[in-house]
Amino acid sequence: MNGSILLTIVKYVAVLGAASILGNWFLAELKKAQMARAPWYKPYVSAPGLLILAALLLPLLYWLLTR
């Protein structure tokens, strides 16, 4: 196996691992908010919620700014 292919695989695994950790963190915040009967938006203003929203909005912002 070529070294660059191995490095690419390691990068993909790292991104998938980080996404999994962030997703589980957000799910824990969501369950905690549901148990506390908090407003629906409460998990989205937590740290993992804001990170996910930022990750979703960055491509849109980039597209808008480079148009």
Residue 39 confidence (pLDDT) = 96
C-alpha 34/C-alpha 63 separation (Å) is 35
Q: Do 43 and 49 form a contact (C-beta atoms < 8 A)?
A: yes
Supply 4's token pair: 């660059």
- What residue numbers bound the domain in which 14 lies? 3-66
Residue 66: per-residue pLDDT: 95
Total domains in the chain come to 1
pLDDT of residue 5: 93
Q: Please, what are the averages of pLDDT over each run of 10 residues along the chain (67 residues)?
A: 89 97 98 96 96 95 95
Write down the pLDDT at residue 2. 81
